[in-house]
Amino acid sequence: MPHSGHSNCSSASSTPVPSRAGSPLPQFLISNPSYSSSSYSESESEQEFAPSLGRNRRSSWRGDRTRWWPLPPSGGRRRDFSLFRKIKRFFRRIVRHPFVPKTPLTIILSFMIFTFFAISLTLLLMYILNPDKEPLPWRAYCSMPYYNSPPDPQNPLLYTDPYHNYSMGATMPSFPHEHLETLPPVGLFIGVFSTDSSFERRALIRSTWASHARSRNGAGTGDNGNGTSRTVVRFVLGQPRGDWARRIQLEMEEYNDIVILPMSENMNGGKSHTYFSWASINAWVPPVYTESSQPVPQFSYSNASTKPPPLAPHDPPLARKDTESDRPKAWVRPDYVVKADEDAFIMLAELEARLRLALHDKPSTKSKNDPLSVSFYAHDNSSRHDMPFGMSLGRSLMHGTDVSASQDPLIYWGYLVTNRLHRFMAGELYALSWSLADWVARDPSVKDMTKGAEDKQTAKWMKAHPQAYAVRWVSERCWIYDHPRAGTVYTHGFLFPSEVTQVRESMAKELEQKPAEDIETLQIGNAFGPTPSKWAHSSVSTFHARYSPPADDLNTKESIEAMVEGSDMSLLRDSSVNGITKQGAWVNRQGRKRRYENQRVGGTVVVHFIKQNMWFLETALALLEGEEETEAERFQSMQRLSQHSSSPSLGALKHRRR
């Protein structure tokens, strides 16, 4: 027994006692739980005697030793949080800046200042980018052919008009041309761009310029509608909205004058190109119903025909009479496809007369490789000025049954807008001859140029034509203008030939007083340069100023008379200077016969920017209504007749006395 006890003691004493705790291992490498447990207990007992030392020793050991096992990647997340903290810190500095408002009152004031700054900057940029800063010299447009259609200095071959043989200081020839009535009328297909909700404006157009006798026949006794017997008016819409589809369908059934294009309604999203594409297939006009001194010219499209379509109430009376006959004539392709806006008031007889002369005009001989074959600055003010539309109209007509498309006229007609950036015909109304309209619809390159301001895009089409050098850009700047209430650079009073005659006489006197070298300077000759402010003066309207009547208590007829350019009623604002009274201005007004100088045409073609129906009715009253002769004019006519009739009797009485 003693031996066994001694054995036990020696066994216990022979077991080595560790001097310190074992080195800890990673948890997933521990293989001896008992050893780990004993080591952990001994280390704890060690910490009980020296808790602070044991704690520091353990933390320093963990910080000093090198990890030999892999760690999961966390750099991306750390970078994301680092970027977020930087942004947060940046905004925190901004918010804590002393100039940043913090109270509600300072926040509101700061917002108002920022809004004022943004609006001011926007208006400044609009002013800088807007080319229309000054009223246009419309008096020069009506008096000087150079200003009516100035050539492009960069490419003069692309822009021609019937007045291209006139010098810069030449006077405008009289209109209408003496051979106008000898020429057969031209076919016009006028597409008025409208929207599904513009029913009232379409109704006004149907009852005024689309059907009125003074619009279709002209002034005075007219021509019984012969000139506009081939002119039809249709309204062009995109796909109507759901709420308007039923109403548009009923309107189409009632009037037969609405065209629905296969596209959504838009202004500058390709509607014009879709319209010309539709017109190249579906545009038809009545044939020539009356005989003329000159035969009907033959072009490549002259043999195309179709049966008469259902007529609209405002279609030509001659077409309706022919359709009701036993053997109606087939309809043919139009000579022009016209695009117009619904805020434009169009005098159909005036438009047809100018396009008729342009179609029958013999263009000057030009060659793509011979720029000297065209002269825009010919200083020959001979009697040729009385024949601006070709020296021999009869020789310019094409006859025959087989005519190639190369002989078709290429005419681009409208109001030529010129500035340093663009040259194009204004979108309120422009006309393309049939060959141009058909080419626009078929050429694949044009389809890539349909987005953007539609009038500017049309000008790009004309420049891209394979025969761009042969396209005639015919401009009419005098007789196309904005409504007197519009306040734009194109605005002045309602214009008539009698006032334009006065304007031309005053302009001629002014040019005679200027030295010849002044006329040749850029101040007068440059189409983009400054012009005298008096050339833009209007007795009715003021640029960028809201229109106000010249006197109070004007009735309806007197208020319309006050909007006529140059009328005594429009001069009542300066009554203290000129001594004009309201009663005297009304008595001395001009009748239609005197205003049109006993001519059928020669006046306003288009009044644009008619944004309100009231403005539309004012235009209708000014251009379509009124007496042929006023009471004062009839009294003066009777006096002249009585003096003329009494003069022979007085002569006979004197002879008897002798």
Taking only the tens place, the pLDDT of each residue in 211-252 is 999 999 999 999 999 999 999 999 999 999 999 999 999 999
- pLDDT given at position 439: 97
- pLDDT given at position 387: 34
* pTM of this structure: 0.78
Q: Which band of pLDDT confidence, cut at 50, 70 and 90, is reported for residue 263?
A: very high
- Treating both helix axes as pointing N-terminal to C-terminal, what angle do 271-282 and 434-442 enclose, rounded to 10 degrees? 110
Whether the Cβ atoms of residue 146 and residue 524 lie closer than 8 Å to each other: no
Between these two residues, 523 and 574, which has the higher pLDDT value? 574
Secondary structure of residue 120 in the 3-state scheme: helix
Question: What number is the average pLDDT over the span 63-90?
Answer: 64
Taking only the tens place, the pLDDT of each residue in 539-581 is 999 998 899 999 989 999 999 999 999 999 999 987 666 788 9
Q: Which band of pLDDT confidence, cut at 50, 70 and 90, is reported for residue 531?
A: confident
Secondary structure of residue 235 in the 3-state scheme: strand
- pLDDT given at position 278: 98
Quote the CA–CA distance of 370 and 221 in Å, as a whole number. Answer: 47
- Treating both helix axes as pointing N-terminal to C-terminal, what angle do 199-207 and 613-624 enclose, rounded to 10 degrees? 10
Q: Which band of pLDDT confidence, cut at 50, 70 and 90, is reported for residue 7?
A: very low
- pLDDT given at position 469: 86
- The region of weakest confidence among 158-167, 274-283, 614-623 is 158-167
Other residues' Cβ atoms within 10 Å of the Cβ of residue 584: 14
Quote the CA–CA distance of 521 and 118 in Å, as a whole number. Answer: 42
Position 335 pLDDT exceeds 70? yes
Between these two residues, 415 and 366, which has the higher pLDDT value? 415
φ, ψ for residue 137 (rounded to 5)? -80, 75
Q: Which band of pLDDT confidence, cut at 50, 70 and 90, is reported for residue 331?
A: very high
Secondary structure of residue 613 in the 3-state scheme: helix
Q: Which band of pLDDT confidence, cut at 50, 70 and 90, is reported for residue 66?
A: low
If you compute the radius of gyration of the chain from its CA atoms, what whole number of angstroms results? 43
Between these two residues, 457 and 129, which has the higher pLDDT value? 457
Cα four-point dihedral sign 61, 62, 63, 68 = positive
Q: Which residues, at least 6 apart from 258, have a Cβ–Cβ distance to it below 8 Å?
A: 234, 235, 237, 248, 251, 252
- pLDDT given at position 333: 98
Quote the CA–CA distance of 363 and 160 in Å, as a whole number. Answer: 9
Quote the CA–CA distance of 105 and 109 in Å, as a whole number. Answer: 6
- pLDDT given at position 148: 78
- pLDDT given at position 208: 98
Quote the CA–CA distance of 440 and 425 in Å, as a whole number. Answer: 16
Quote the CA–CA distance of 180 and 197 in Å, as a whole number. Answer: 40
Position 311 pLDDT exceeds 80? yes
Q: Which residues, at least 6 apart from 269, have a Cβ–Cβ distance to it below 8 Å?
A: 263, 450, 451
Position 14 pLDDT exceeds 60? no
Reference 408, options 298, 534, 568; nearest CA is: 298
φ, ψ for residue 36 (rounded to 5)? -65, -40
Q: What Cα–Cα distance (Å) separates residue 411 from each residue in 22, 33, 230, 430, 436?
A: 105, 104, 18, 10, 8
Quote the CA–CA distance of 150 and 376 in Å, as a whole number. Answer: 9
Helices and strands (H, E) in the chain, number of each type:
25, 12
- The region of weakest confidence among 478-482, 578-582, 604-608, 625-629 is 578-582
Q: Which band of pLDDT confidence, cut at 50, 70 and 90, is reported for residue 344?
A: very high
Quote the CA–CA distance of 365 and 362 in Å, as a whole number. Answer: 9
Q: In the chain, what percentage of residues exceed pLDDT 70?
A: 73
Between these two residues, 405 and 462, which has the higher pLDDT value? 462
Quote the CA–CA distance of 42 and 553 in Å, as a whole number. Answer: 116
Q: Which band of pLDDT confidence, cut at 50, 70 and 90, is reported for residue 511?
A: confident
Q: Which band of pLDDT confidence, cut at 50, 70 and 90, is reported for residue 145?
A: confident
Q: Which band of pLDDT confidence, cut at 50, 70 and 90, is reported for residue 144?
A: confident
Q: What is the CA 241 to chain-centroid distance, rounded?
A: 24
Question: What number is the average pLDDT over the span 650-656?
Answer: 49
Position 626 pLDDT exceeds 90? yes
DSSP class of 289: -
Question: What number is the average pLDDT over the span 92-99?
Answer: 81
φ, ψ for residue 590 (rounded to 5)? -100, 145
CA angle 567, 482, 582 (to 5 degrees): 20
Q: Which band of pLDDT confidence, cut at 50, 70 and 90, is reported for residue 48?
A: very low
Quote the CA–CA distance of 564 and 604 in Å, as a whole number. Answer: 12
Strand 606-608 relative to strand 480-482, pairing: parallel
Whether the Cβ atoms of residue 479 and residue 148 lie closer than 8 Å to each other: no
Beta bridge partners of 564: 494
Quote the CA–CA distance of 446 and 457 in Å, as a whole number. Answer: 9
Secondary structure of residue 193 in the 3-state scheme: strand
Position 524 pLDDT exceeds 70? no
Taking only the tens place, the pLDDT of each residue in 382-441 is 333 333 333 334 334 444 444 566 789 999 999 999 877 788 999 999 999 999 999 999
CB half-sphere exposure, 535, CA atoms < 13 A = 22
Between these two residues, 191 and 135, which has the higher pLDDT value? 191
User: What are the residue boundaries of the structural domains of the chain, listed by start?
Assistant: 82-129, 131-627
- pLDDT given at position 53: 44
- pLDDT given at position 508: 87
Between these two residues, 140 and 398, which has the higher pLDDT value? 140
Quote the CA–CA distance of 550 and 65 in Å, as a whole number. Answer: 100
Reference 350, options 517, 512, 222; nearest CA is: 222
Between these two residues, 400 and 363, which has the higher pLDDT value? 363
Cα four-point dihedral sign 356, 359, 362, 363 = positive
Most confident of 9-13, 105-109, 137-141: 137-141
Structure tokens at 381: 């003010």
Position 62 pLDDT exceeds 90? no
End-to-end CA distance of the chain: 201
